[in-house]
């Protein structure tokens, strides 16, 4: 049976007219669903919930891998011990609370996790890392990283990392659609990719089969060989995880 992948969704509490207007709405961009389905998985959309501490474990019992998606709003800086220094919308607390609980319990199970863009940042913050709240203002020499879904710049992949073993190459052309980034890498994680300006483009957890975050959006490029390879590697480990849990 194909592995079931839980995909975290976004939430509009009625203050985002571009997503549901004044009606509270759970939503997810279809490209995440398509990327999982196209590479052999069964997507299961996970909405933000009111009681994440009670819901995380039952959810994880039903899935074989966790995909943490990006978002328009950003993580509340309080989550990594800072005050908000710049203007940006903050993720609904229900979403972040559920994702943090899912990550915590998924790690205990050694369940495969893939974090994309804001999902990578969530992985880092959930484990005790910090973020640049605004790359352009806090890293004045950084390139423009808000450039949409098309390929925008090269990244260097660090040899010996899980990401390098998956992609089998040292450089990769990626898109760039973010204004925040990882600042202090969380304990237990290492950097696996960087942009030419030093912005961290990937992290991964040490001593886990597959706990990996990428700052770009491979689901935008899922017809591309490297992006397909990344999703297929994630699903391969998820299928193995499913088999082990059933044995």
Catalytic sites, residue numbers: 117, 217, 219
CA distances 153 to 106, 150, 173, 196, Å, are: 32, 10, 6, 8
Q: How far apart are CA 168 and CA 52, in angstroms?
A: 37
193 neighbors 172 (Cβ within 8 angstroms): yes
Distance CA 66, CA 72 (A): 20
Q: Are strands 189-194 and 211-214 parallel, antiparallel or unpaired?
A: unpaired
- What is the number of residues in the chain? 247
Residue 11 buriedness (CB in 10 A; 0-12 / 13-18 / 19+): buried
* Helix H or strand E encompassing 121: helix 118-126
């Amino acid at each position: 049976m194909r592995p079931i992948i839980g995909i975290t969704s976004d939430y509009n509490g009625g203050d985002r007219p571009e997503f549901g207007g004044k009606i509270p709405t759970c939503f997810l961009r279809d490209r995440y669903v398509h990327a999982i389905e196209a590479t052999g998985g069964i997507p299961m959309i996970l909405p933000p919930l009111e009681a994440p501490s009670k819901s995380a474990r039952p959810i994880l019992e039903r899935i074989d891998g966790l995909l943490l998606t990006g978002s328009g709003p950003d993580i509340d800086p309080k989550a990594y011990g800072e005050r908000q220094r710049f203007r940006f919308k903050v993720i609904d607390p229900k979403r972040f609370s559920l994702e943090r609980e899912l990550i915590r319990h998924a790690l205990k199970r050694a369940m495969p996790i893939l974090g994309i863009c804001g999902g990578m940042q969530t992985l880092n913050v959930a484990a005790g890392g910090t973020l640049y709240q605004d790359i352009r203002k806090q890293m004045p020499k950084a390139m423009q990283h808000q450039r949409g879904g098309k390929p925008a710049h090269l990244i260097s992949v660090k040899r010996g990392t899980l990401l390098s073993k998956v992609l089998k190459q040292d450089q990769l052309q990626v898109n760039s659609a973010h204004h925040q980034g990882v600042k202090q890498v969380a304990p237990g994680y290492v950097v696996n990719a960087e942009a030419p300006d030093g912005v961290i483009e990937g992290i991964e957890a040490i001593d886990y089969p597959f706990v990996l975050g990428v700052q770009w959006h491979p689901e935008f490029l899922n017809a591309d060989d490297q992006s397909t390879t990344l999703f297929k590697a994630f699903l391969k480990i998820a299928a193995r995880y499913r088999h082990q849990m059933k044995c």
